[in-house]
Amino acid sequence: MEAAALIVGTPIALVTIVGEDEQWFKAKIGIDVEGTAREISFCSVAIADCTEPLIVEDAAKDPRFAENPLVTGPPAIRFYAGVALISDKGNAVGTIAIADTKPRTISASQIEELQRISRKASVLVGLRRRAHAIAGTLALDRTLADENADWLRTHDELTSLPLREVIRDWIEILGDEARGDTLGTAMQGKNASPSSIVAVGLIHFHEINSRLGREAGDQIIKKIAQIIASELPERALLTKISTTGFAALLRDTDPSQASVIAERVRKRLQVPITPPGGSPTEVSASVATATTGPSAEFTPDQLLAAIDEASAAAKALGSEVLVEADRELVASSTRRTTMREALATALNSNELRVHYMPIVRLGDGEVSSHEALARWRNSRFGDVEPEEFIVVAEEYGLVARLDAFVLRQALADFASGKVGGDAISVNLSPAGVTSETASEIFSALRDAHVPHECLTIEVTEREALATNPLLTDTLVELAAGHVQVALDDFGSGVTSLSHLVALPIGLLKLDQSLTRNLVGPVRERGLAIVEAIVTLSKRLGLDVVAEGIESEEQIKILELAGVTTGQGMLLGAPMPAGTT
Ligand code: C2E
Ligand code: MG
Ligand code: MG
């Protein structure tokens, strides 16, 4: 019954049993009375023809109900939709009904959901009976079981919302309609209208589950479903497309309307959520939209893929922005998926290379160590920037293998003297860290006969640094084993000083942007920041390396600020082993 109210968004929902003279409300939301006389009940009309749902969009204008006391007096019903509940003997015994005090409309997808809910409720009634008296024919058992299986297959257990395949079915219908348009009678052309999807994805919801417990997490998700439903227009079909993702299909809604609705949902979810009996909890939710229709960017067939891409992009950007799917976004996703396959092959076929970039003492220009950087040239994509393929590797779970390859190659090149300096630095993506990572790094060191003190592991602060507890353990283990840990790209915008306290960092690598700011219009502020970081590092006993040095002037200012080591194109570009 809650599901019925959620799907259509009405304030009143009822499960009724219709008797000879009366109807009783077995369960109810939004109405006080326990039942009504049968002669004035809407539901008795609904069950008179139990094959069709009874939809009354405006009771005041319907001659069958205009004079009904439930319409003319409290609760002043205007809208009603009821579907018969069929008992295991095949009789209509009552209804699942929803009602509102204002007139409204209901979409075909919502009616179908209502019918599903009623079949599910009928099954429950049937099953409960059978528990008391083991009667009922085998054939009947079968249909009940099928009905139940159909429900479980297509509905989310927690919220009772329809699952992804239900929205997919409805999108398919849009596709059929659109194809009808292109074959085209003038009439169909006129009827073609845009449809939109608004998707909501919960970010890091597992943290809420682990902090408050699974049960509280479930309550919060239910509450979120209600909040989203309450912000949707009346004919929208809300579905649950993943464990922490919702998508609503809005027919006759153009992109600008869809973004207004999506913005409303986004804003509502920024307010802490209080589940029944719980305390206010902040959730982080991403919101995205995609639209199909005559002038929209996508055909219905592309709509679900488009919303998936937009949702992924929205998730990466967080709860502050709304992402609207466009062609460019979807094209880049196609590139990413093909790149994933190529990268997986590359990892098996030695297509990846490692280049080494010198890290230099600014005072005398002496190379103190090198940073190993992954390089990838692919027959299809050409030279791919690490910024691009590392992200693909992280997204598709390939980065641990990539990092392990670079580590072993770098240690071998360092051990054989092909790469000079006293030490070697290797990047480690937090996304690929497992409980085995530290011991894998130690065994790579052992295999290459490189002392632990000669290795620096660089971690870049992306979101995982804060959220992956395994990473902290791994870094602590590495530091305890005398491997130096460096915080890469320090000051690039996502850095939090708290990591300097929580993680066993021995080296800070100043982000290129800080070095760039030392010259040019913001030089005064740029210098103040670098000086402050140097002071902080001294207090914490950290080494500092400046990244992105491209001019002598930057070196001078860095030395004035107390930075003694640097890396950058001026000092040496990344090169293959043996040429450094
Ligand atoms: P990073 O670890 O901060 O590496 C430094 C990046 O800055 C390198 O880019 C380097 O070529 C570039 N760079 C250094 N000095 C200068 C300069 O003066 N001017 C300019 N324009 N660029 C400079 P690259 O090789 O493209 O790597 C980009 C990022 O990709 C790296 O940033 C690192 O985060 C990631 N990455 C590279 N190799 C690996 C790897 O094996 N594993 C992982 N997990 N990440 C890697
Ligand atoms: Mg690095
Ligand atoms: Mg860096």
Q: What is the band of 56 on the pLDDT scale with cuts at 50, 70, 90? A: very high
Alpha carbons 75 and 440: distance in angstroms, whole number: 69
CA atoms within 13 A on the CB side of 580: 30
Residue type, 431: A
Alpha carbons 11 and 28: distance in angstroms, whole number: 10
Identify the pLDDT of residue 406.
98
Span 19-31, pLDDT tens digits: 778 888 888 888 8
What average pLDDT score do residues 421-444 get? 95
Continuous segment of H or E residues that includes residue 561 = none
What average pLDDT score do residues 158-175 get? 89
**Which range (63-67, 188-192, 447-451, 573-577) has the least confidence?**
188-192
Is pLDDT of 580 > 80? no
Burial class (CB in 10 A: 0-12, 13-18, 19+), 266: buried
Identify the pLDDT of residue 93.
82
Q: What is the band of 463 on the pLDDT scale with cuts at 50, 70, 90? A: low
Q: Work out the mean pLDDT of the chain and round it to a whole number.
A: 87
The residue whose CA has the least distance to atom 45 of ligand 1 is: 427
| Percent of the chain residues topping a pLDDT of 70 | 91
Looking from the CA of residue 567, the nearest atom of ligand 1 is 15
Alpha carbons 433 and 441: distance in angstroms, whole number: 11
Q: What is residue 162's DSSP assignment?
A: B
Span 345-381, pLDDT tens digits: 999 998 999 999 999 999 999 999 999 999 999 988 8
Span 69-85, pLDDT tens digits: 889 988 899 999 998 88
> What is the 487 CA–ligand 2 centroid distance (Å)?
8
Among 373, 461, 514, the mutation site with the greatest number of ligand 1 atoms within 8 A of its Cβ is: 373
Q: H helices of 419-522, where? A: 437-448, 463-467, 469-480, 498-502, 512-516
Pull the structure tokens for residue 32.
């006080």
Is pLDDT of 411 > 90? yes
> What is the 351 CA–ligand 3 centroid distance (Å)?
24
The candidate with the shortest Cα–Cα distance to 9, out of 85, 71, 100, 78, is 100
Show the ligand 1 pocket: residues with CB < 6 angstroms.
357, 373-374, 385-387, 390, 399, 403, 406, 427-429, 458, 460, 488-489, 547-550, 567-569, 574
Please tell me which residue, 205 or 499, carries the higher pLDDT value. Answer: 205
What average pLDDT score do residues 173-180 get? 80
Identify the pLDDT of residue 419.
97
Is pLDDT of 514 > 90? yes
Among 390, 395, 425, 465, the mutation site with the greatest number of ligand 1 atoms within 8 A of its Cβ is: 390
> Which residues have CB less than 5 Å away from ligand 2 (the ion)?
427, 458, 488
Span 301-343, pLDDT tens digits: 888 888 888 888 888 788 888 888 888 887 877 788 889 999 9
Continuous segment of H or E residues that includes residue 13 = strand 12-18
Identify the pLDDT of residue 227.
94
CA atoms within 13 A on the CB side of 483: 29
Span 259-278, pLDDT tens digits: 999 999 999 999 999 988 88
Domains of the chain: 2-154 (3.30.450.40), 164-325 (3.30.70.270), 337-576 (3.20.20.450)
| Percent of the chain residues topping a pLDDT of 90 | 50
> What is the 424 CA–ligand 1 centroid distance (Å)?
14
**Which range (134-138, 284-288, 342-346, 491-495) has the least confidence?**
134-138
String of DSSP letters for 51-62: TS-EEES-GGG-
Q: Which ligand is nearest to the CA of 429?
A: 1
Please tell me which residue, 132 or 330, carries the higher pLDDT value. Answer: 330
Q: Which ligand is nearest to the CA of 352?
A: 1
Q: Please provide the distance, in angstroms rounded to a whole number, between the alpha carbons at the two ends of the chain.
A: 71
For 244, residues 6+ apart whose C-beta sits below 8 A from its C-beta are 201, 202, 205, 221
pTM of the shown model: 0.59
Pull the structure tokens for residue 476.
């602590």
